Amino acid sequence: MHKTERPLLPTSFGERLLKTFASSGQLCVGMDPSVEQLKKWGLPESAAGAEKFCIQMIDNCVGEIGLLKPQVSFFEQFGSEGFAALERLLVRASEAGFIVIADAKRGDIGTTMDGYARAWLSTEGPFVADAVTFSPYLGAESLDPTIAFASRNSKGVFILAATSNPEGKVLQSSVSENQRSVASNVASYAAGFNKESMGSVGLVIGAQANLIDMAIDPKKLIHTPILAPGFGTQGAKLSNARSIFGDLADVTIYSVSRSVAGESSVGLRERVQIAKAELEIGLSR
C-alpha cells in the first residue's frame, strides 16, 4: 500500500480519550465482519465484503460517537486481502476523527512482542490504531517494553483482565502466590502506570465480570480506562451502565457490536443513536 500521511499525536492516548468522552460520549461500536454478519447483510464472504460492511459502519457512526473497535480476527480470516482492507479502513476511521481500538489480543515475549508493537503501535507502522488489546498471560511484566513503546508513540494499551466469557473465570479468578487473583494482579499492574487524570494503560473488563469474585478494587482503578465488552447481544444493558460499573462508570468505554450491526444496513445510524441514548440514561442514574 502507498504510505499514508499520519496525523501528529501531540497528546497521550488517555488525554485524547478524555476529550472524546467529553465531546462524543463513551459508546464504542465494534466492527465485526464475521461470516455470519456478512451473510445477514447479503455481502460476499470475502475481504471485499468485510470492507464494504465496515465502510458503512464507519460512515454511519460519523457525528454520533467517537470510538470504534475493529475485531482483527475477522480480517485475518481473509489473509493478505483482509489485512489490506483493514489497513484502508483504519486510515478511513482515523481521518474521520475516531479513536480506534484494534482488538488484536496480541501477547508474547521479547523480539516477537517487539514485532507486534511495531505493527500496531508505531506511528510508521502499517496499522493506524490509537490503542490495541493485549493478553498478559505470558506474565504481565512481559508487556513492559510494549507499554513503553506505546507511550513514546502516544498510543494506548488495553490488557485483558476479567473478560466477559464464562470460560475465563477459572483462570482469571485463580489465586497466585501473593494470595491475589490473577485478574487482580493484572489490574494492579495496569493501574501502576496511571497516576493522574486518565491514563493510557487500560484494562478489558467484561460487563458480566464480578469484580468482587475477582478481588478487584474499583477505587484503585479510577485513573485506568476500562474497555467493557458484553453489552447488547451478549446480555448486559447499556441502561444499567452505572449500576454495573459503579466507581468505574466514568472511565469505561462501553462496547457494542452485533446489536448495532443488526440484520442489515437499513436503520444502522438509528441503531447507533438508540444505543447512545440508552447509555446516556445508564450513566445518568
Catalytically active residues are 105
- Longest Cα–Cα distance of the chain, Å, equals 53
Burial class (CB in 10 A: 0-12, 13-18, 19+), 215: middle
